[in-house]
A and B are shown apart, each in its own frame.
Chain A
Amino acid sequence: MSTKIKINSQIFQDSNNVYYPKDEVEVSDLIRELYKQDSPTEIIGNNSKSFIGNKTQSANTTSLSKISGIIDYRPEELYIKVKACTPINEIEKVLSENSQELAFEPIDFGYIKDGKSNKGTIAGYLSCNYAGSRRFKVGSVRDHVLGFKGVNGKGDIIKSGGTVVKNVTGYDLSKLIAGSFGTLVALTEITLKVLPKKDSSKTVIIYPNNFEQIYDLFNKLSSSSSEISGAVFIPEQSNDKEFSAKRNNVFKFNDLKSKVSFVAFRVEGDKISIEEKINNLKKELELNNSDISILDVYQSEPFWEKINNLEVFEKTEHNLIRMVIPPGNGSKLCKYLENNHNYFIDWCGSLFWIEVNSKKEEKIKDLKKMANDFGGYLTVIKTSSEYDYGEPIFTVDKVRLMISEKVKQSFDPKRILNPGKMYRGV
């Protein structure tokens, strides 16, 4: 950490030279000063996801962690406005008291980082835009952001959006901010759409025989009018004893045969409609003579928590890949992954979480090529200690990189905010 930058302000700075502005005016003052001095800064929240992305090329660190608290929660208007670094746990707690939730189902990256829960802040989560299992039904984080306030790379306080769902006034910058890894603005305020929590849930487990059957199930599930809100495939990984033991332990439920491969899908709603949907789906999926298990709400809820905590990859020291492809190409990818890597599939066949052994960085290159060929993309979410960044951890083509540079320039011309966090030059 460099100590050469002297900021002429009262902004609190700890012994590691991390700045802690306490409100948007202080964030603005700080960034304006850094802008004048051409001195970039890393932007962090509660540090729960700072391991994702490249290491920033900056002399300073700005923590927005003091910018926290609920500003305005209107359950009847289905929105909550919060200061940017409000912990997700705090938001979920207050929503839950009103039977509401963040429908995109935040992933808890704390488990893969160091084995314990740490959902971090909403600003951090929005900056990554990684939605949980319900994504294919309700949309991603970006679909639930109604507006924001923040400070751009020149120190200007800017805002976009509002508190209403229907809003086409000006460019939709909320979308652009989602997934921008703090490279465009330092967020200070976020307004989110919230939705009613479903009364109950059940999870149906099917034990398929082959990959074709898995994708046939996924296809039928996503084509059904009996809506489901989660569908995963957890393969058996018998060739990796250590992983296999962990996997079997994570998915130890009374009503689940966890030692074999299984597809699980979730149905949510009131109790009567859950039964109706399960009966409809049993017919559509031709399951009436198949071996299935049903997890009641007491098993169903923790099951999906484990999925969204990525618990099978808890404290992984290998590279962890997040790959998204059109589901139509999923069975081909499955065949490649079988016996090569530990993995599981979420989003009804679209999202693959893949663990790649630390010494096989070239494998990531192969996977990235496959992601591109299949019409998708991949991100190395967690890198092993041996990862040399020879293979970029994000997927981007030349034209998009060129446009990304231009967009970055329009928010942050001197590259003050998280430079290099996503791509070199951005």
Chain B
Amino acid sequence: MSELALPKIDNSILNRKSEIVKNLSKLTDKENVLSEVDELRPYETDALSVYTQTPLAVVLPENTDEVSEILKYCYSENIKVVPRGAGTGLSGGALPLQDAILLGLGKFNKILEIDYKNKCVVTQPGVTNLGITHAVQHKGFYYAPDPSSQLACSIGGNVAENSGGVHSLKYGTTTNNILGVQMVMMDGTVCRFGGKSFDQEGYDLMGLICGSEGLLGVVTEVTVKILKTPDVVRAALIGFPSIKEGGDAASEIISSGIVPAGMEIMDKALIEATDNFSKAGYPRDAELLLIVELDGTESEVNELIRKVEAICKKNNCSSLKLSNSEKERLSFWAGRKAAFPACGAMAPDYYCMDGSIPRGKLAEALLEIKKLSEKYELPVANCFHAGDGNLHPLIMFDGNDKEQLRKTEEFGSEILKTCVRLGGVITGEHGVGIEKRELMCEMFNDNDIQQQLSIKKSLDEKNLLNPGKVYPILRKCAEEGRVHVHKNKDKFPDLPRF
């Protein structure tokens, strides 16, 4: 993609590479420090693979004390640090920097305690999201947030990004499902926020850390809540002849007082793409497809299904199928879950966007995206967590064509600006990272951003932890006239800029 502005490289650090590697090797097993070019290659990017960068070195500590010692060392030597979980993030939050250590938490891969009495699991951050559910499902429990990458993404990364998933309308995102974290600050201080009890007194520092994209600390332990698996889960697959009718039905389901466990929308382009790809048996004549999942006790689910059916019929649905077995329910989801690879099969590259809008603006947003697709002459398919207004347009393009790349970026940016205009936000669950950094000024004014930077400065005064992420690089923001800069003088000259 286009050239990326990153924090100024500190050449003195590059020049001291061998000394730094040597010193790091004293703080953990020397096999945990990678510095050769071919060893570093797997760490050059996360799941936003259009951006790559080779880190100075990769360190893979094995326990909290090692993390603390490494950060303490980096702090005293002014070495930048980029934390990384499983590297599945879609916004470039774990993109390395040339003069920074990449701190991988991959060796923190153990579940420390399963506590059914207190309905929680204490885990190291490198354990996968699905790994937690696997550890407790034999007793009928599960961990609720389910990002689509749950097979691979780590719980530490989920905390950093405040990950959601299909079921977040009813069960919330990561921040609503964790009870405590242990975290190491940039100067090496180890701290603990929360524990196994509900809430915490004083400032909700766990709430601040969750979703902070690795800018405020390195999470080394997480305590998550586990929930009892519902008795009955059923899904309905409903086709609509128009975007408006389907969107209205989705809105009406919510306003009628139903809180579905999940509610997904796919547009015609995606129905066709996924049905070709996964043979899910979707209604191909529909302009819009709604999947509604309901859970609870048997009578509860039956009652909800009856209500959903009535609402969809009232809104002229063209087809309606209810799952009568677990196998059938999973088959309804098969197409939706294949959305990304299906788009991957249709074009050399696709770019997944992630804005949130008020549910009622769905039809308006989809029509606007359609217009933009014609303007940029790039095909787009849309899936949408309709329950909570989280939109994922997938723009298809050819990455080898520089002009298409440029247009894709502009198209994506216009979609997110549309989300903000409709009362939404630029990222619902993928995070800002480096991808949407410059768009922060669409949502926040100078005061808002300065307050956030001020928090960053208070917890990482040297700006060494994951710099260059989330917040706009001043120059670009200023050029676009979003941050007020008078006579080239920053309003807060003492604040860090990155």
- A residues at B contact (CB < 8 Å): 74-78, 99-100, 129, 131, 135-136, 139-140, 142-143, 152, 156-160, 162-176, 178-180, 184, 195-197, 219, 222-227, 269-270, 272-273, 276-277, 280, 324-328, 347, 350-351, 375-377, 379, 394-396, 399-400, 402-404, 406-407, 409-411, 422-423
Interface contact B228-A75, CB-CB below 8 Å: no
List residues of chain B with CB within 8 A of the CB of A169.
425-427, 432, 436, 440, 443-444
Interface contact A156-B198, CB-CB below 8 Å: no
Tell me the nearest residue of chain B to A196, going by C-beta: B257
List residues of chain A with CB within 8 A of the CB of B493.
none
Closest 4 CB pairs of A and B: A175-B207, A196-B257, A76-B255, A166-B428
List residues of chain A with CB within 8 A of the CB of B189.
399, 402
Interface contact A76-B360, CB-CB below 8 Å: yes
Interface contact B389-A165, CB-CB below 8 Å: yes
Interface contact B198-A135, CB-CB below 8 Å: yes
Q: What's the least CB distance linking A77 to chain B, in Å? A: 5
Interface contact B300-A270, CB-CB below 8 Å: yes
Q: What's the least CB distance linking B66 to chain A, in Å? A: 19
List residues of chain A with CB within 8 A of the CB of B457.
410
Contact indicator per residue, chain B 326-342, by CB within 8 Å of chain A (1) or not (0): 00000000000000000
Interface contact A164-B259, CB-CB below 8 Å: no
Q: What's the least CB distance linking A302 to chain B, in Å? A: 23
* Interfacial residues of chain B within 31-65, with CB under 8 A of chain A in the complex: none
List residues of chain B with CB within 8 A of the CB of A140.
198-199
A273 with B303, Cβ < 8 A, contacts A175-B204, A410-B457 known: yes
A227 to B230, CA, bound (A): 9
* Interfacial residues of chain B within 144-203, with CB under 8 A of chain A in the complex: 161-162, 164, 168-169, 172-173, 175-176, 185, 189-193, 195-203
Task: Indicate if B5 sits at the interface (CB-CB under 8 A).
Answer: no
Candidates A75, A226, A272; contact of B255 at CB < 8 Å: A75
A77 to B361, CA, bound (A): 10
A166 with B117, Cβ < 8 A, contacts A75-B255, A175-B208 known: no
Candidates A164, A172, A178, A280; contact of B210 at CB < 8 Å: A172
A277 to B301, CA, bound (A): 12
Task: Indicate if B118 sits at the interface (CB-CB under 8 A).
Answer: yes
Count: A-B pairs, CB below 8 Å: 255
List residues of chain B with CB within 8 A of the CB of A224.
228
Interface contact A176-B447, CB-CB below 8 Å: no
A328 with B198, Cβ < 8 A, contacts A142-B207, A167-B356, A195-B259 known: no
A328 to B355, CA, bound (A): 41
Interface contact A175-B356, CB-CB below 8 Å: no
Tell me the nearest residue of chain B to A177, going by C-beta: B204
Interface contact A164-B211, CB-CB below 8 Å: no
Interface contact B119-A222, CB-CB below 8 Å: yes
Task: Indicate if B316 sits at the interface (CB-CB under 8 A).
Answer: no
List residues of chain B with CB within 8 A of the CB of A410.
451, 454-455, 457-458
Interface contact A164-B455, CB-CB below 8 Å: no
List residues of chain A with CB within 8 A of the CB of B452.
160, 170-171, 173
List residues of chain B with CB within 8 A of the CB of A152.
451
- Chain B residue total in the interface (Cβ 8 A): 92
Tell me the nearest residue of chain A to B257, going by C-beta: A196
Task: Indicate if B254 sits at the interface (CB-CB under 8 A).
Answer: yes
Task: Indicate if B423 sits at the interface (CB-CB under 8 A).
Answer: yes
A159 with B458, Cβ < 8 A, contacts A129-B199, A176-B204, A219-B117 known: no
* Interfacial residues of chain B within 116-131, with CB under 8 A of chain A in the complex: 116-120
Other than A164-B390, A175-B206, give 17 A-B pairs with Cβ distance below 8 A. A75-B255, A76-B251, A76-B252, A142-B207, A164-B425, A168-B211, A168-B428, A169-B440, A172-B210, A175-B175, A273-B299, A277-B297, A326-B115, A375-B196, A407-B208, A407-B459, A411-B451
List residues of chain A with CB within 8 A of the CB of B172.
139, 143
Interface contact A403-B459, CB-CB below 8 Å: yes
List residues of chain B with CB within 8 A of the CB of A76.
251-252, 254-255, 359-360
Task: Indicate if B7 sits at the interface (CB-CB under 8 A).
Answer: no
Interface contact B299-A276, CB-CB below 8 Å: yes
Tell me the nearest residue of chain B to A227, going by C-beta: B296
Candidates B297, B357, B451; contact of A158 at CB < 8 Å: B451
List residues of chain A with CB within 8 A of the CB of B206.
175
A379 to B440, CA, bound (A): 38
Task: Indicate if B135 sits at the interface (CB-CB under 8 A).
Answer: no
A273 with B300, Cβ < 8 A, contacts A167-B425, A171-B212, A173-B452 known: yes
Candidates A75, A156, A162, A277; contact of B451 at CB < 8 Å: A156
A407 to B193, CA, bound (A): 14
A179 with B300, Cβ < 8 A, contacts A156-B450, A166-B388, A196-B257 known: no
